[in-house]
Amino acid sequence: MAVVLEAKNLEKRFKDFVAVNKINFKVKEGEVFGFLGPNGAGKTTTMKIIQCVSPKTSGDLKVFGLDVNEHPREIKQHMGVVPQMDNLDPDFSVIENLVQYSRYFDIPIEEAKKRANDLVNYVQLNDKKESSIDKLSGGMKRRLVLARAMINNPKLLILDEPTTGLDPQARHLIWEKLKDLSSRGITVILTTHYMEEAARLCDRIVIMDNGQILVEGTPKNLIKKYVGDHIIEAENTIEIKTCLEKNNIEYEVANESVEIYSENVPHITNLILKKCTSSSVTARPATLEDVFLKLTGRKLRE
């Protein structure tokens, strides 16, 4: 498969502060590629460099085989963007927002109107076509921004936290649309704080922290590699911890509980119940969230 995007030693500094620290990644055509990472990891900064709206400090970034510094116009012509913050124009109605935006791509007006109507349908905002932007809910705005990103029939979609703040219905609708777009061969790059979203949607993900990429891979492989199949949780007490240490069982402290990554659930569970505690011990399948917390720690970010 063709490579749509390739970053080599991509770096971004704001004065002395390094926001993106020499990262390397490749996105292939038709892939859904996710960026995960705590607040301030550098996801939005990376997205903005890809969108050709923020210049890189050093390194190489090619989109569609074109250098972002030299061919921003050509790249942007075939890219759709959903920014982290909605930036719809409140002076215009829903449909006008789409038509106006299409003007910037030099789409002829008749064609623009047709696409705008199709897209309003696509994101199920038909009832709100003539509404002003102020009268839309957060979820509706997000859907409209997605529709707007599609107005130029992009080959590559960049979505920065497309579902943050949405209710489950709206989130599922966006997922459904992204899956549909991906099945039509559109390459999708997204950032998210929802691990479930990343696990469901993304073919491959990277986890970023402090401007660096910590790991890269398919959600499944990352879970397998860094956590294992299952997680056993027990209470976080001194007795349990000393008991686990005595039995050479590795554990991680997760606030109220201790977590044991394990391939052999019955064995460990029985052992803990027999030797360490009579209180509750639970086992559950490992998730991407476990990988994320393991790699980026549990401390809150500023």
Partner 1 sequence: MVTFIKTWKLNFIPPFLEPVLYLLALGFGLGGFIESVDGVPYANFIAPALVSISVMNASFFECTYTSFVRMYYLKTFDAMISTPISIEEVIAGELFWGATRSTIYATIMLPVLLIFGIIKMPSSLLIIPFAFLGGLLFSCIAMCFTALSPTIDTLNYPSFLFITPMFLFSGTFFPMDVLPLVVQYTALAILPLAHVVIISRELTLGVYSISLLASLIWILAATLIFFVISIKLMKKRLII
The answer to whether residue 30 forms part of the interface with partner 1 (CB under 8 A) is: no
138 binds partner 1 (CB under 8 A): no
Question: Among 5, 20, 32, 81, which residue sits at the site for partner 1 (rule: CB under 8 A)?
Answer: 81
Neighbours of 78 (CB within 10 A): 16
Q: How many residues bind ligand ATP (CB under 6 A)?
A: 12
CA 203 to chain centre: 11
Q: Residue 43 interacts with ligand ATP (CB under 6 A)? A: yes
Helix (H, G, I), strand (E, B) or coil at 291: helix
Stretch that binds ligand ATP, among 1-9, 42-50, 118-126, 233-241 (CB under 6 A): 42-50
Of 2 and 17, CB closest to ligand ATP? 17
User: Nearest distance from residue 43's CB to Mg ion, in Å?
Assistant: 5
Q: Which residue has the tokens 């935006």?
A: 101
Interface characters, 31-70, with Mg ion (x: CB under 5 A):
------------xx--------------------------
**Nearest Cα to Cα of residue 230 among 152, 300, 283:** 283
C-alpha closest to that of 152 among 119, 178, 130: 119
Binds 17, which of Mg ion, partner 1, ligand ATP, none (CB < 5 to 8 A, cut-off by type)? ligand ATP
Q: What does DSSP say about strands 66-67 and 58-63: parallel, antiparallel, or unpaired?
A: antiparallel
Instruction: Give the closest residue to 172 by CA, choosing from 160, 181, 180, 163.
Output: 163
Nearer of residues 45 and 182 to ligand ATP, judged by Cβ: 45
Sign of CA dihedral 148, 154, 160, 164: positive
All residues at 6 or more sequence positions from 97 whose CB lies less than 8 Å from its CB, including other chains: 88, 89, 133, 144, 148
Could you say which residues in the range 45-64 bind ligand ATP, by CB under 6 A?
A: 45
The residue count for the chain: 302
- Which residue of this chain has its Cβ atom nearest to ligand ATP in the complex? 44
- Provide the token pair at 240: 């349990």
Is 14 among the residues that bind ligand ATP (CB under 6 A)?
yes
Interface pick for partner 1 out of 46, 54, 192, 296 (rule CB under 8 A): 54
Query: Binding pattern to ligand ATP, positions 62-101, x when CB under 6 A?
Result: ----------------------x-----------------
Comparing CB distances to partner 1, the nearer of 72 and 228 is 72
- Selected from 44, 51, 100, 257, the binder of ligand ATP by CB under 6 A is 44
Q: Which amino acid is at 267?
A: H
First to last CA, the chain: 39
CA 59 to chain centre: 23
Residues near partner 1 (CB under 8 A) are 14, 51-55, 72-74, 76-77, 79, 81, 83, 85, 87-91, 100-101, 103-106, 152
